[in-house]
Structure 1
Amino acid sequence: MEIAVIGNSEFILGFRLAGIQKTYAAEESDAIADLVTMVLDDAEVGILVMNGEDMAKLPLRMRTTLSDSVKPTVIAIGGEEGGLSIRERIKRSVGVDLWK
């Protein structure tokens, strides 16, 4: 399982420095939507990290798909609309609340 990160160049820079190889830079919402589709089709990706503001720009249908996705688990960082907490996403994907 690999981690993929989609966002603007500033957003993905830290993830690149941390050693994550599947980082995709996109500034326009159309490009972000295309990259999300590509990552969803990649069987090796287990976690998708996105900026919450970029996620809010996606079409409603795609946001719903991302919110309901278990594989890859989608984590929105920042922005007002981050969806479920990381704890809830881990609980959904693993099936157990690891904090208890």
Structure 2
Amino acid sequence: MKIVLMGDRDTALGFKLAGVHEVYAFEETALETDRARNKLKELIEREDVGIILITERLADRIGLPEVTFPIILQIPDKFGSLFGEEQIKEIVRRAIGVEIKR
């Protein structure tokens, strides 16, 4: 199964260097938002994609469908999290049952 990232150019570059299988970068324009929405639909339909990482800001712009597979995870971008640290800790705790402590 492949891990795919969707996000801004800087985030995409970082994850590509880290070895993520496929990365897709999108700018903050209406045309790019439509392109990102179409790419997400395409990725969801592919059988070889297991995890889609998407930056919170991009997910906020395009909206996320309710799917059980592949797993879609929202991640912060270079500007930080839209949700804040405490909310991310709570999401992780509910998802995997482990509390993150400093």
- TM-score of the aligned structures, taking structure 2 as reference length: 0.71
The gaps in structure 2 that reach 5 residues or longer are none
RMSD: 2.4
User: Which has the larger Rg?
Assistant: 2
Question: Who is 1:74 aligned against?
Answer: 72
Partner Cα separation in structure 1 for residue 91 and residue 45 of structure 2: 24
Question: Who is 2:51 aligned against?
Answer: 47
Change (3 A) 1:70 1:42: same
- TM-score of the aligned structures, taking structure 1 as reference length: 0.72
The gaps in structure 1 that reach 5 residues or longer are 92-96
Deviation at 1:7, TM superposition (A): 1.3
Change (3 A) 1:73 1:85: same
Return the letter of the residue paired with 2:71.
T
Give percent identity, aligned residues only.
23
Change (3 A) 1:86 1:35: farther
